[in-house]
Structures are given as C-alpha cells and as structure tokens.
Homo-oligomer: A and B are copies of this chain.
Amino acid sequence: MIKQALIGILCGAVALTVGILIGHYGITKSNGSWAKDVAKDVDESLVEKFLSEVDSSHIRENLRELTKVPHMATTAGDEQTVQLMLKRWQDPDAGLDQAWREEYLVYLSFPDPKKPNKVTVGDPADAVLYTAREKEKVYTPDQDDAEVVQPYAAYSPAGQPKGKLVYANQGKPSDYKLLSETVDLRGTIAITRYGGAGRADKAINAAPYGVSGVLVYTDPLDINDGLMSDASETYPHSWYMPPSGVERGSFNTHYGDMLTPYLAAKEETYRIPAESITGIPPIPIQPIGFEDAYKLICELGGRAAPDAWRGGFNCTYNFGGPGFKSTSAFNESDVKLAIFNTEVVKNSSNVMGVIRGSVEPDRYVIYGNHRDSWVHGAIDPSSGTSVMLELTRVLGRMVKQGTWRPRRSIIFGSWGAEEFGLIGSAEYTEVICDQRRNARSFSAANATLRASGMPSLQNVIFKATKQVDAPGLGATSVYDNWIRYANRTSSAHGPIPRVGYLTGAGSDYAAFVHYLGIASMDISYTYDRSKTNARIYPAYHTAYDTFDYASKFIDPGFISHQAIARTAGNVLIRLADSLVLPLNCSDYAESLEDYLNTAVPLYQSKLQAQGISMGKQPLKRAVASFRSAATHLDQVIRSSDLVRRINDQLMLLDRAFLDPLAFPDKYAYRHVIWASSSAGKPTFPGLADAFANAELTVGSWARVHYHLSVLSQAIEGAAHTLADVI
C-alpha cells in the first residue's frame, strides 16, 4: 500500500455560486446594529470552532451508511440515499434551513439483468471455447449483492458482432491508423485498454475502419503497477484491482441529459429523437477484466505491436493476424460480443438544501457532490458525500443554535446521475440558466494535496490549507505537505503548491464553468504519484469500491476525510462570510500570461504568414489590459470602501469569459479560457484547436482568425470588468 495514497473526493466540488443580487440597503432600519451586521467580516474564532468540531468518526459512519448497498442512479439503492440526505438535511438539531428533492426525466442506459452481456471465443464450428466473466469475483459479501450491476458500457448500442480479434492499444485515432496499415480491420473485434482516449472514442474512432465491435480493459501496468495476482498482491490484500475487476463507465462525449440539450429535462420538455444523439458508440463495446484480457491478448497472432503499446502482461502484445496465432487453441476462432443494453428515460433526483444568508441572502455559494455510484461507490462518490454530510452537520448545528448565520446563502447539492454524464448538475444549471439572477458562482473544492480551479481561487485555498493539519503528520499543515508533492514557481509568489486548471468536463463542475461562467474549484486528497503509475485509484468504478476497501486501504482512520472536511468547510466559510470576496485577479492574470507565453512561440510566425496578427495585437494587448486592470483592482481593494462594487467585479469576472458562439462545434462549451481542447497545448483552447485544424487543413485560417477575435474581445471584456466604472 502506498503511504500517501489517501482518499480522492473525486467529485466533491465545492461550487460557490454567488448570485447577482444583493441584500439590504437597510433604508428604514439603518440603525447601528444593521450597519454592524452589514460590515461584518469572516470570524476567525468561528472558523476555529468549525475545524475543531469536524469529527472523523462521524464521517466513517456516514460512509458506512451510504455504502450499505449499491446505489446506481435511479435504483432502489439510490432512493435510499435520497432519503438519507433529506433526513439529515431536515434534521431539527443539525439540519439546514430547508431541503428538498428536484427530479429530472433523463436518458439512461442499462444492461438487461435477464439477458446478461456476453463475450465469448467461438471456433469456426461455432463451439464456445472461452467465455469471459460476467460478474466480478466475490471477496466480501458486497460483491455478492444482487444489485451489483454487471460490468457494461453505458450507451453502447445492443448488437452481436463477431470477428477476428485485433489489439488496438488505447483506441486513439493514431492507434487505429497504425494498426490498419498492417491489418485489414473490416469485420474485426478490437480490444483496447483504458486511457489515452475518451471511453466512447475507442468505438467512435474504430467504426470508420469497419471494426464491428470493441472490448476495453484496464491493463495492470496502468492501474496496478504491474501486479496481477489476487493470491497476495491485489485486493483484498492491497488497494490494487483484482484480476476480475472491471471499470464501468458512461460511454458518451457530451454532458447533461442527451435528449434535452440546453433544456431542463422536465416531463413536457421537447426531446430530440434518440437517433440524433451524437458522441456515443456507433458499434457495440464492452468492458472486461484484465484476467480475461490476458487470455485473449496473449493468444493474438500477427506482428508484434510497438513498445509503447505494451502493457503489464508477461507476453508479447501482437496486433492480431487478425485473430489468434496458429499455435493457439483459439486458432481460426472469432470473438463474439452479445450486448443487450437498453436505453430508458427515468426520473433522477438531485437533493438540494440551503442555509440562508443574513446580509446577502440573494447571493449563493454552492457546495455540491454527486450521490450516485456505479456499484457501492465508497470513494466515488460516497467519500465526498460523507464529508459533505459532516460539514452540513457542524454548520447546521451552529445555525440551529443561533451561533452563526453566513453572510451569503449556501446551497448544497447532492447531484443525481453524474456517472451517466454529469446529468444532475447539468440539468440544474439548465434550470438556473433561465433564472439568471442565480447564475453566478465560483465553485471550490475540499482542498488538500490536489486542487484544480480558477486561478483567482488559489489564494483562498492556500489560506484554508495553512490552517488545517495534514492527516497523520502532527503539526505539518495540509499546505506544507501539499507543496512537497506538487509545486511550481510563480512570478508573483515564488514557490507555491500547484493548483490545476478545470479544463474539460471531468466532473460536476463542468456545467457551472462552461455553461454558466462561474468560478469553481475541485479538490481532493490523493495518493503519491511518484510511488505508483496508477492513473486513478484501482477500484474506480468496480465492485471493489466498498466501505471495506476504503476503510482498509484508502483512509483507515478517516483522518484524510477529516482533513478534507476541514479544508472544504474553511474555504466555504470564507467564501460565504468574507466582506470582500477572497478572489485574487492578479493570479488569474498570471495564468493568462502563461497561456500567452505558450501561444506566441507556437503560433505567431505561421499566423503572420496568413496575414493574421497575434503577438502584438489584439491578443497580447488584451492580456496586458487584463493584467493592468487586475493590478489596479488590487489597489482599489486595499484602499476602497466600495465593497459591494468590488464583490460584483470579482464575482462577474468569469462570466466575462463566456461567449455562446465561441465554440460552434462543441456542445455547451462557452468559456474561452477553460473549454476542452484536443490539441494538448497548455494555452487558449479554442486557439490551439483551430490552429491544429488549420494546419491539418481540416479547418481554415479564417476560423483561427475568428477565434482570435472572439478570444481577444473576451479578455478585453474581462479586463473591463475589473476596471473602474466609467
């Protein structure tokens, strides 16, 4: 086991929504006590009190309760967790001011319990020579629960393709291209390993070559540091994935309910025809364990695959002849997939709760975490939910006792159906988007060793992590521990912990960032990446992500959970109570300058050849405007009493980066700085992608120029948001 490997509250984004609105001018009541309330700042003794009351044993018991049964979205187990959340948040002594359920009718995909998906090897006479496991091996009673869903690829179409097997590495476009140069892929079944490309992409990229079905597995090299034996090496002996473990997942590209793009999925809402959905597998695909993958891959014929394609198996990874080698018992055999997934429209619930603000009740800080899992989901997502419940217990008690009420309102969200594509949180933002006065927030997360977010939030994460002890390290703070594992040198601050960027759509922050333009963060305690190559904790999306696993191998004393609860709560209190919002725009400027400094050498000379100016104007000028406005605002914050105005400037900064027309080909992406990008460059995403496409002559230089105008205009606008009023 890895010493530093701790929990990842993977999806526990603390979303801090600050509404546009504002509270009292206190006209009739403008007496002394009102003025005192209005001017009240964060109470550090209250922060101390909060930190001391967070209790790891409560978190442990929360997790035990949440993971009693599998709670995949819309199942009976999911409903049990809905009831649990409502009961806790409506508790008269330690609940919130109000809690309720919000339902959406959403498009999901499930295997058929009566007709399980099958993967077999059949000889030319159709005799079955080998059958892959349909369920994961049982080590604790958890895996034996009848409600454990069979491993499957959600949104894979049903179908029964068969064909000669080939190995396609990670299923990237370049992988299929290379493979097709040696092997005729028409009618084949491709086996791929997780990583390198999105889940759905492994099938989407295969289809143009005539591949008829795809398998996907987790290679022991990518998750287990090569270890494969459950006799001594893997769970239940360690945190590593057992040979029969299978990562489930949603095989789609867009986020939110796929039948109601940009609309809240209510009963009467218009739905697009299912045939119009894009970004899902066009051919059947099924995930299997590495135990089965080993049996298939090591028997493949054909030429040896390149070194980079090799995983952890102790055999040669061949391309496939196509099919198996002549010396194999599977010689001349086909691999057959029998997939019986069905799509259904079902009600999924978000559970929402609120602590009302005292001075600015119409501004919101949102703290959210998804509730649904694939199986028991002890780490993903229940570690986050157990922390959120402890946090609301401590804060709720203070509110009920009358010892505290935040300046701004805090909304808590327990999102449904995240695993199927961030559905609950995205539908929430589609509602909220038409309730635009709520449509601002910055989302933060339960900071420690690993944090991503808007650069402007870096400062408050640092502040909070310095006040929380690192789990198991005595007087060392989370901050001091963090900087050892991930750091960078800032031009303004010197060496500091590295806060990542929230690019793409990895979790529930996506709709808040990309659709609403709300400053957000996502934070977790994670493991020491210098000691393992695991790309994620090994039980991710398997039947082994259980209370047993979490309490034995991830966080035995629940002290990391406790540290995260303390950090997240600390950030939350600061965002809810600070007179001036603790957002630092100069740190945002530093990130934009980094982007610019990456972009100029990459693109400038080629763009100049196209007659498009980039380096000096207008992009460089826009970034300089932003820096200058940020510096000025820093001074104003130090000297001014215009608190309300400043807070609005801080709050609205990310909104200025939204442009609904910036990414005409990318569903629901509007944020010009943080949108997803396929170019893989640490710079402005739309510019990088447009440039890459123009070079490949897929796109045009005019589109690069167009995006450059959009981008420069957005940054100038953001600078203007920070500038003084006219």
Contact = CB atoms under 8 A, between A and B. Distances in A.
Contacts of A645: 21-24, 361-362
A511 B721 CA distance: 20
B655 A25 contact: no
A84 interface: no
Interface in A669-726: 702, 705-706, 708-710, 712-714, 716-718, 720-721, 725-726
B709 A27 contact: no
B436 A721 contact: yes
B435 A721 contact: yes
Given A270-B709, A436-B652, A710-B263, A725 B27 contact: no
Contacts of A434: 656, 659, 713-714, 716-718, 720
A362 B713 contact: no
A548 interface: no
A409 interface: yes
A437 interface: yes
Contacts of A29: 641
A613 B25 contact: no
A656 B436 contact: yes
A421 to B, nearest CB: 20
A709 B264 CA distance: 9
Given A270-B706, A436-B656, A725-B362, A642 B24 contact: yes
Given A436-B717, A717-B435, A725 B649 contact: no
B709 A22 contact: no
Nearest to A359: B25
B709 A268 contact: yes
A411 B718 CA distance: 20
A556 interface: no
Residue among A269, A434, A435 having the largest count of chain B Cβ atoms under 10 Å = A434
A709 B269 contact: yes
Contacts of A263: 709-710, 713
A433 B438 CA distance: 19
Interface residues on chain A, size class: 35 or more
A726 to B, nearest CB: 5
A259 to B, nearest CB: 11
A581 to B, nearest CB: 13
A30 B35 contact: yes
Contacts of A705: 270
Contacts of A30: 35, 38-39
Interface string A570-604: 00000000010000000000000000000000000
A221 interface: no
Nearest to A726: B354
Interface in A397-447: 409, 411, 430-431, 433-438
A643 B436 contact: no
Given A30-B38, A260-B709, A409-B726, 19 more contacts: A19-B725, A20-B20, A20-B648, A21-B649, A24-B642, A26-B641, A27-B38, A262-B661, A268-B613, A268-B712, A269-B713, A270-B708, A361-B725, A364-B726, A431-B713, A434-B659, A434-B713, A436-B652, A436-B655
Interface in A344-362: 354, 356, 361-362
Given A29-B641, A434-B713, A21 B579 contact: no
A22 B19 contact: no
A254 interface: no
A430 B27 CA distance: 37
6 tightest Cβ-Cβ pairs between the two chains A and B: A434-B717, A435-B720, A21-B648, A270-B709, A660-B660, A25-B643
A498 interface: no
Nearest to A720: B435
A83 interface: no
A268 B19 CA distance: 35
A174 interface: no
A315 to B, nearest CB: 52
A164 to B, nearest CB: 42
B642 A23 contact: yes
A98 B725 CA distance: 12
A182 to B, nearest CB: 43
21 contacts: A19-B725, A20-B20, A21-B725, A24-B641, A25-B38, A25-B641, A30-B35, A30-B38, A30-B39, A266-B618, A268-B712, A354-B726, A409-B725, A409-B726, A431-B713, A434-B718, A434-B720, A435-B721, A436-B658, A436-B721, A660-B661
Given A21-B648, A25-B641, A437 B618 contact: no
A644 interface: yes
Contacts of A717: 431, 433-436
A617 interface: yes
A595 B456 CA distance: 45
Contacts of A361: 645, 725
Interface in A2-46: 19-30, 35, 38-39
Contact of A652 (B20, B28, B354, B642): B20
Interface string A64-91: 0000000000000000000000000000
Contacts of A655: 436
Contacts of A720: 434-435, 437-438
B618 A27 contact: no
A659 B435 CA distance: 11
A712 B645 CA distance: 33
Contacts of A658: 436
A713 B659 CA distance: 21
B23 A656 contact: no
Nearest to A430: B713
Contacts of A98: 726
Contacts of A269: 618, 709, 713
A674 B625 CA distance: 36
Contacts of A643: 24-25, 27
A341 B497 CA distance: 63
B656 A437 contact: yes
Nearest to A708: B270
Given A717-B433, A726-B411, A28 B656 contact: no
**Listed residue (A25, A361, A436) with the most chain B CB atoms within 10 angstroms of its CB:** A25
A499 B643 CA distance: 39
Given A714-B434, A725-B362, A27 B579 contact: yes
Nearest to A658: B436
Given A270-B702, A717-B433, A721-B437, A648 B362 contact: yes
